Amino acid sequence: AQERYAGLRDLPATALCGTTVSLHMNAGLMADLPSLISSGAEGVGLFRTELQFLVRNQMPKRAELSALYARVMDAARGKRVAFRTLDIGSDKVLAYMKPQDEPNPAMGWRAIRLGLDKPGVLRMQLQALLRAAAGRPLTVMFPFVATPAEYRAARAELDKAVERERILGHPLPERLEVGAMIETPSLAFAPDSFFREVDFLSVGGNDLKQFFFAADRENERVRRRYDLFESSFLTFLRNLVARCEAAGTPLTFCGEDAGRPVEAVALAALGFRSLSMRPASIGPVKSLIRRVRLDEGRALIEEGLARGDETLRPAFDAWLARHV
């Protein structure tokens, strides 16, 4: 199936209306990196750093992490890698961390909440990233941020780490780009100042949908019950895109939906200009985007929402069926 898309590898995901969407890949292990070149991805839109912590039976040392991140950047050959800081807790439990007995771990002490309350590991990881970047650009993304204050506290940890490196005389990143993931609906309603403050935002659609619909992403019974095409969710995303456009904030979508061609076209039609997905999805997503007019998709969404359709799935499927 990958060969089918090989001819598209070096072509842009430009739709028939002329709009180009940049396609990035999700990664988490060194073994994923060769796909960056073979898939034609523009960069790594989401590097899940927790995988390195999950595959070990003790806390990795800073020097080990730093060497690993440097190898990731080397393998990316100058392409942008968005390193997401540790997203543990919830479904991701470290063998060497005291298990938390929480009634609702997905809504519990996880990701940036844990990182800010016990900053030792976060500081170590930020320092490892800074040392790995040394003279190269660095992109850092904080997971599961629910309020601007959490983003600011995480950003302050990074600024402190930069200052420490400066004092030690270590080379600093050539450029530092810092963003937050939108995984809780609350952050999409933050004040305008927050949108101007971040260098970029990235929707973690898996978690965002889980909290938007209150449907456990691990629970087979409910997880497929609601989808991206529910007009409530499309309205939410449309509002988020508009706020980012108004503030000039680059916005990416990096949940599983970005790798589903029909959903990816809907996201692009809504105004997402950057999508990050499993490497194997890049070909199929690019192929479909290149066959449609996104302005038509956008009009279809607007009409459906104005009409009061509860879901735009049937209308969207019917429209796309005319292109394949």
Residues annotated as part of the active site: 254
Q: By CB under 6 A, is residue 259 in contact with ligand PEP?
A: no
Of the two residues 87 and 165, which places its CB atom closer to ligand PEP in the complex? Answer: 87
β-bridge pairing 80-84 and 137-142: parallel
Looking at the DSSP assignment, which residues form a beta bridge with residue 203? 182, 253
Nearest residue to 194 via CA among 232, 130, 147, 253: 147
Q: Which of residues 78-137 bind ligand PEP (CB under 6 A)?
A: 87
Assess contact for 33 and 75: CB atoms under 8 A: yes
Among 89, 148, 179, 204, which residue interacts with Mg ion (rule: CB under 5 A)? 204
Q: By CB under 5 A, is residue 50 in contact with Mg ion?
A: no
Among 14, 19, 206, 287, which residue interacts with ligand PEP (rule: CB under 6 A)? 206
Q: By CB under 5 A, is residue 40 in contact with Mg ion?
A: no
Assess contact for 77 and 45: CB atoms under 8 A: no
As annotated, the binding site for Mg(2+) includes 183, 207
Report DSSP state, residue 222: H
Kindly state the smallest distance separating residue 83's Cβ from ligand PEP, in Å. Answer: 13
Of the two residues 14 and 206, which places its CB atom closer to ligand PEP in the complex? Answer: 206
Q: By CB under 6 A, is residue 205 in contact with ligand PEP?
A: yes
Assess contact for 24 and 252: CB atoms under 8 A: yes
Q: By CB under 6 A, is residue 154 in contact with ligand PEP?
A: no
Cβ-based neighbours of 248, under 8 Å, separated by 6 or more: 196
As annotated, the binding site includes 48, 84, 183, 206-207, 217
Q: 248 exposed, middle or buried (CB, 10 Å; 0-12, 13-18, 19+)?
A: exposed
Instruction: Give the binding site for Mg ion (CB under 5 A).
Output: 183, 204, 207
For ligand PEP, the binding residues (CB under 6 A) are 46, 48, 87, 183, 204-207, 254-255
